[in-house]
Amino acid sequence: MARAKPRIAALTTNDTTSKEGRLDHKHVAVEELETFARETILSAGEKALSFYGQGVPEVKFDRALGTEAELQLNHYFQEALQQRFPEHQLFDGQDPDDGYTHEARRYMWVFDPLDGMSNFMAGIPIWGMSVALLENFWPVFGYCYMPATEDLFYARAGQAAYRGDAQIKVSSQESINDESVLLNFSRFHQYYRSNFPGKQLNLGCTSAHICYVAMGRAEAALIAHESYQDLAAVRVIMQAAGGKFMRLDGTMFPIAEYLEGDAGDVHLLALAPALFDQIKGCLQNIV
């Protein structure tokens, strides 16, 4: 039985486009770029599902399966981009050419083929992939797709965020309580003691954590040791939903500064800014 495609909301153009919804003088419409992103990530999701749950039964974490899936998904996206937009750049984790340009190469795509690899290998459905588009290093849009649950999250920079065709926003709670949810990372208890009053969960997939905060299902996500590739798409979704990425000292986190690699030991809270002081006050550093 064929899987139904996720429902998509109709997006309007933003103030950076002309009345025709075009991004540049060469008449590449933002709608055309979004259609490519949406269709490609949905197709990549179908390819990923052909690997999901197909590992050696006696091996819960089949790393060979995960590596092969990641290689094939990367190759698929590279081929699709080369065929459709051959002059566009693809972020590869290296320091990109940061010169401002009006040429087609000012577009750079950031594709993360598998987030939540341990879940993927173990047959647990909370894993996903993401794609973002930058224009001269400014975000244009971001998409995050979770194939096993058929959840598609996306946003255009400066506009609304969506899950399927439903608009999403961060929690409107003014204070945390025993019904609040804090999502954290796998080694959380090596770094923090917590008196958070609600539920503390680790679902094993950073992009899912951030999307769940963006849709108000959790009040905050504490994340660590992530790369620019991991965060490029979900930062657009999070910000469009009214959330922010903040360092634990209360300053905003400039994700664009981490184009050259991961964020090292930086720990971040993704949340509605109004809740920062309350949630940070629940965390005591161990190391």
pTM: 0.88
As assigned by CATH, the class of the 30-167 domain is alpha beta
For the chain, the domains span 30-167, 181-285
Among the ranges given (16-30, 113-127, 156-170), the one the predictor scored with the smallest mean pLDDT: 16-30
Mean pLDDT of the chain: 87
Distances (CA, A) of 102 to 24, 87, 106, 136: 8, 12, 6, 9
Taking only the tens place, the pLDDT of each residue in 114-124 is: 999 989 988 89
107 φ, ψ to 5°? -85, 130
4 φ, ψ to 5°? -75, 140
Residue 58 has pLDDT above 90, yes or no: no
Count the residues in the chain.
Answer: 287
* pLDDT given at position 16: 38
| Beta strands 151-156; 138-146: pairing state | antiparallel
| Beta strands 220-224; 181-183: pairing state | parallel
CATH assignment of 181-285?
Answer: 3.40.190.80
Helix boundaries (H) for 227-273 = 228-240
Taking only the tens place, the pLDDT of each residue in 256-278 is: 666 655 555 789 999 999 999 99
Share of the chain above pLDDT 70, in %: 81
Tell me the mean pLDDT in the region 88-102. Answer: 71
Tell me the mean pLDDT in the region 238-257. Answer: 90
